[in-house]
Structure 1
Amino acid sequence: MRVLGIELRRSAAPVLGGLVVVLLLGLLFWLPPAGKGSTAWTRQWWSMAEWVRYALVFAWPLTAGAGAVQGLRDRRSGVEELFASTPRPRAQRAARTLAALAVALLVAYLVVVVVGGVQVAAKAGHLGLGWVPVALVGLLSLVAAAWLGMGVGRLLPSPLTPPLLAVGAMALMVVAEAAGDEGYPFVLLRPSATRPGSVFAHTAGSVSAGQALWFGGMAVAGVLLFALRRWWSGVLPLLAGAALALPLLPTTSAEATAADPAAAELACADGLCLTRAHERERAALAGPAREALALLSKLPAPPAEVRELPNPVRPEPRGPEPTDTVWLDLDDLVYFRSTPLPAIRITELLVEGAGTRECNARDGFPDREVVARAVTTAWLTGHLTPLRNYLGEEDPELNPLAQQALTTLNARPAADQRAHVEAARQSLAACTGTAWTALTGEPA
C-alpha cells in the first residue's frame, strides 16, 4: 500500500481523477436535459446512472488521452533504459501505475455517483438495483480507456500520441452517436449511453453484459500493451472482447431498452393512482387531484380517478383515451421543475381540456382546438386563463375568440352547457379535431 500511495502521488492519477469529477459534474449540472423532467439525473437511480454514462462522451476521450500521457512518463523522464536494466519484472512495475490510475478513477466515479445519489435518495419512490450494472460498466469503461491510453502511449512514445488519441476517441464517439439504428450493434460498443427517455424503460441487461465483455477486453489490451510493448498483444484481447460482446448486443435501439414493470406498478388511494417511480409525489398531488375530480363532477359523466400513465415510450401524437379517468403524464404536466408548481396550478392543469391531455403537446393544435381546451377549462374553474403565443405574450387573436365562446356558452341553459362541454371533452379525448364544433356548434 505504501508503494501504491507513492505511485498515486507521483503519477498523473490524482489530476486525472479531479478532472473527471469536475467534467462529469459540470456536464450533469450544466446540460439542461439532465436536470429537467422526471428523468433528471437527481430524481431516479436509473436516470442518474444513465446520465453519468451519457456524460462519458466527453470524459472518456479525456481519460484515454491522460492515460497516454502517463504511458509516456518513463520516456519523458529519460529513465526507460535504466528501469529496463533492473531485475524487477516489468509487469510488477506496470501493475502499480495501472492500479494508481484505476484507484483514482474509481474514487472520481464514486464521488459523482454519491453526489447524485444523495439527491436521488430524497426524491426517488422506487429504488431497485438494476442500475448498478450500468454504473459499473461506466466505471470499467473509464479504467479501460486509461489503461489502453497508457499502452498506446508506451507503444508509440510521441508527444503527439495523447492529443491524437483523445481526438480520435472523440471522433469515434460522435460517429457512433450519429449512426443511429444503422450502426447497431456496433454503436453499443461506445462507453456513453443514450440519454434517458423514460423512468419506465431502461438499458437492457444484454447491453450491460456485452459492454462489460468489450471493455474488459479493452482493459486487458491496455495492460498487455503497457507491460509488453507488442502491438499484437493488444489486438488479440480487443478482438476477443468484440467477438464475445457483439452476439449479446441488440441490433436495434428498441431492443437496447427494457421496460421496468416494478417502476410502472400502480398504487391507488383516494382517487389518485401513481406509479412506484413517482410514489413520493403523492403528498403534493393528492390535494389537487381531489379538487380536480370535484370540479369535473359538474359533467354528466365525470371521471372517477386520476391515473398516471406509465408509458415506457411516449408516442407523439397520442391516440384516443377513455374519459372515465383523468390520464396523467407528469412530464406533460410540466410538473418536474426547479420551482414546484402551486397546488392551484396543478389543479388547473389536471382539469385542462375538461380533464383530457393534449393530442400533440410538442407540435400544438389548430388554433380553435386550443381555444376549445381553454374554454372547457374556464367553464369548470370559473375563470379564463389568458392564452399566450410562443413569445409568452397574451395572444391578441385567440383570447377575444375564447372570451366570446365562453360568454356564448355561459348564456345557454345549464343543461345545454354541460352537454356541450361533455361533447367537447369526448372529442378532445378521442383526438378527432372537432372539439370547437362540439362546443360552439360552429364549423372549425
Structure 2
Amino acid sequence: MVRALGVELRRSAAPLLGVVVLVIALVVLRMGPPNSGSVTWTRQWGMLAEWVRFPLMFSWPVVVGLGALQGLRDRRSGVEELFASTPRPRAHRALALLGALGIGVVTAQLVVTAIGAVRVDGYWQWSWLLVLLVGLVALVAAAWLGAGLARLVPSPLTPPVLAVGALVLVATALRVGDLDDDAPSGLVLRLTLLRPSTPSPRDVFHEPAGSFTLAQGLFYAGLALTAFLLLAARKWWQALLPVVLAAAVAVPLMPGTPEEVRVASAVAMSEVCTDSGPRVCLTRAHGHELAEVAGPAQEALRQLAKLPDPPRSVREKPGPVWSASREAEPTDVVWINLDELNYFLINEPARGEELTKRMVAGAGTRPCHGMVSPEDPTREIAARTVAGSWVAGRLVPLLSPQSWYAKDVDALVGPAWEALRALPEQEQVARVQAMRAVQGACSGDPLTALTSGAL
C-alpha cells in the first residue's frame, strides 16, 4: 500500500491539487482579509484558523473539478474494465488514489497555515486547531467527491460541470448566508453554513460556536466517506447513506440565528493588568501588547490627574470597532479599544507620545461615533481635540493634515480653543467636565458642552 501511495503521489494529480490550493490561498489572503487591525490573519491564532479557510470559497470548487479529472484517469486510459476484472477489492485500489489526493491538499493547506503561524504573536487558544481541522476535512472531501462523481458519471464534461456547480453553490451560500443585517435565520441559515469556510471574523473577542464547528466537521466527514464509497462500493446508491446521515445530524446542530454563529470568548475578554504603577488592563486577546501600552497609558493618567475627578485606571473595552456608535460608559476609567486608537490600523503602530495623545483626547473619553459613522463626526472630533489639548496644556491636533475631516475640524478647533482658554480657570474646568459627561453618555453635542457649558 505504501508503494502504491508513493506511485500515486508521483503520477496522479495530487501535486497539482496541492499547488492550486497553495496559490489560491496565498493570492486570496494577500488581497481578501483585512491587512490591518486586530483581525488580520496573522494577528491571533483564532484569526489564522478562520482566515486560512476563507480561500476555500475559491479553491474548494477547483479541487472538486480537478479531483473529477483524476477520477476519469482509468476511463481515459482504457483500463477500467481490466481493473474491474481483477480480484483486488475496489477499496484497496481507491485508497492509494484518495490517500494521494488527500495528502496533496492537506499539505498545501498546512503550508499556508505555517506561513501565517510564524508571524502570529497573539495568545494561544486550543479551539483554533479544531477550526483548522474542519477545513482540512472539507478540502479532502472536495478532492474525493470529484473523483467519486467522475467514476459515477465518466464523461469529459463531468469535471467542468462539477467545478462550476460547486462554485455556484458556494457563492450562493456565501451571499445568502452572510452575517449582515439581512442574514436569514432558521433552515436557510443552517444550510448556507454548510459552506467550507467560516463567517468572516469581525473582532478577536468572538469565535465560531462549538455547535457550528462540530456540525461542519460531521457534514464534511460524511461527505468524504460518501466520496470514498462512490469509488469503493459496487452500488452507487449505497454511498449516499453517510452524507445523508451526516446532513441529518449536522443541519439541526447548526445555529439557527446569525447571533448564535459566533459566541463570546471568555478567555479572550479576560483581563491582563500591570503589576505596578497606575492600573492598566488589556484583554487577554491583546495581552501581549501590554508592555507597549502600559507606559503611554500611565502617562495619560498622569496628565488627566488635573481634572477634579480624574480616572484612576485604563482598561480595554472588548467589542467590535466597526460600529456606528457605542453605549454609555462611566468616566472614572479611561476606556480604550486598541483598534480605535489606531494601534493596529497603521503600518507602524502608535507608540509613546502618540499613543498617550490618543488616550488623552476627549479628556480621557472614547469616541461615540465609532469608525463607521452614519453622521458627520467633525464636531465630536473637534471637541475631543480641544479637550485633549486642554489636558495637555497646549493645542495638539488629533488628526493628521491628510485626514478627510482635517480642514473642517481645524475650522472648529481654532475658535473653540481660543474661547475656552479665555475663560477663568474654574470655568474651563467646568466646561471640560461638561464635555466629558456628554461624551461618556454619548448623548448631546460635546462641542456645545465645551463652548457653552450646556449639557
TM-score bracket for this pair, using the shorter chain length: over 0.9
1:215-234 alignment, distance < 5 Å: 215-228=220-233, 230-234=235-239
- Residue number among 299, 304, 312 corresponding to 2:312 in the alignment: 304
CA contact (8 A) 1:225 1:231 kept: yes
1:246-325 alignment, distance < 5 Å: 246-269=251-274, 270=277, 271-311=279-319, 316-325=324-333
Aligned to 1:83: 83
Distance apart, 1:386 and its partner CA: 6.4
1:5 aligned partner, one-letter code: G
Q: Name the SS of the counterpart of 2:202 in structure 1.
A: coil
Q: Comparing 148-157 with 225-234, which one deviates more in the overlay? A: 225-234
Segments of 5+ residues of structure 2 without an aligned counterpart are 178-182
CA contact (8 A) 1:436 1:443 kept: no
- Residue number among 159, 167, 184 corresponding to 1:170 in the alignment: 167
Q: Name the SS of the counterpart of 2:444 in structure 1.
A: coil
Aligned equivalents of 1:26, 1:229: Cα separation in 2: 41
CA contact (8 A) 2:321 2:337 kept: no
CA contact (8 A) 1:154 1:229 kept: no
Distance apart, 1:434 and its partner CA: 2.5
Aligned to 2:343: 335
CA contact (8 A) 1:151 1:229 kept: no
| Identity among equivalent pairs (%) | 48
* TM superposition score normalised by structure 1: 0.94
Aligned equivalents of 2:405, 2:261: Cα separation in 1: 44
Aligned to 1:159: 156
1:149 aligned partner, one-letter code: G
Aligned to 1:118: 118
Distance apart, 1:365 and its partner CA: 4.3
Aligned equivalents of 2:400, 2:302: Cα separation in 1: 27
Aligned equivalents of 1:129, 1:400: Cα separation in 2: 51
- Residue number among 355, 358, 363 corresponding to 1:349 in the alignment: 358
Distance apart, 1:281 and its partner CA: 0.3
Aligned to 2:3: 2
Is 1:212 paired with 2:221?
no
Change (3 A) 1:40 1:104: same
Q: Name the SS of the counterpart of 1:157 in structure 2.
A: coil
Distance apart, 1:72 and its partner CA: 0.8
Distance apart, 1:384 and its partner CA: 3.1
Q: Name the SS of the counterpart of 1:185 in structure 2.
A: helix
1:171-210 alignment, distance < 5 Å: 171-180=168-177, 181-182=183-184, 183-210=188-215
- Residue number among 396, 421, 433 corresponding to 2:432 in the alignment: 421
Q: Comparing 88-97 with 375-384, which one deviates more in the overlay? A: 375-384
Aligned equivalents of 1:89, 1:377: Cα separation in 2: 78
Aligned equivalents of 2:221, 2:379: Cα separation in 1: 58
Aligned to 2:180: none
Q: Name the SS of the counterpart of 2:53 in structure 1.
A: helix
1:385 aligned partner, one-letter code: P
Is 1:367 paired with 2:367?
no
Aligned equivalents of 1:22, 1:186: Cα separation in 2: 29
1:30-41 alignment, distance < 5 Å: 30-33=31-34, 35-41=35-41
CA contact (8 A) 1:306 1:327 kept: yes
Aligned equivalents of 1:91, 1:10: Cα separation in 2: 19
Aligned equivalents of 1:7, 1:310: Cα separation in 2: 50
Q: Name the SS of the counterpart of 2:334 in structure 1.
A: strand
1:370-409 alignment, distance < 5 Å: 370-381=381-392, 382-385=394-397, 387=399, 392=403, 395-409=406-420
Aligned equivalents of 2:117, 2:125: Cα separation in 1: 13
State the Cα deviation string for residues 54-96 of structure 1 (Å, max 9, x = none): 2211111111111111111111222212222323222211111
Aligned equivalents of 2:314, 2:427: Cα separation in 1: 26
Change (3 A) 1:282 1:333: same
Aligned to 1:96: 96
Change (3 A) 1:324 1:194: same
Aligned to 2:22: 21
- Residue number among 411, 420, 442 corresponding to 1:431 in the alignment: 442
CA contact (8 A) 2:211 2:253 kept: yes
Q: Name the SS of the counterpart of 1:254 in structure 2.
A: helix
Is 1:242 paired with 2:239?
no
Q: Name the SS of the counterpart of 1:199 in structure 2.
A: coil
State the Cα deviation string for residues 26-55 of structure 1 (Å, max 9, x = none): 21122241x321121111111110111222
Aligned equivalents of 1:210, 1:426: Cα separation in 2: 47
Change (3 A) 1:47 1:84: same
CA contact (8 A) 1:155 1:230 kept: no
Name the count of aligned residue pairs: 439
Segments of 5+ residues of structure 1 without an aligned counterpart are none
Is 1:53 paired with 2:53?
yes
State the Cα deviation string for residues 361-398 of structure 1 (Å, max 9, x = none): 21154533332122112222212316569x73674443
Aligned equivalents of 2:258, 2:29: Cα separation in 1: 23
2:352 aligned partner, one-letter code: A
Aligned equivalents of 1:440, 1:9: Cα separation in 2: 76
2:8 aligned partner, one-letter code: E
CA contact (8 A) 1:436 1:442 kept: no
Aligned equivalents of 1:147, 1:273: Cα separation in 2: 49
State the Cα deviation string for residues 401-441 of structure 1 (Å, max 9, x = none): 31111011111122221111111111111111231221111
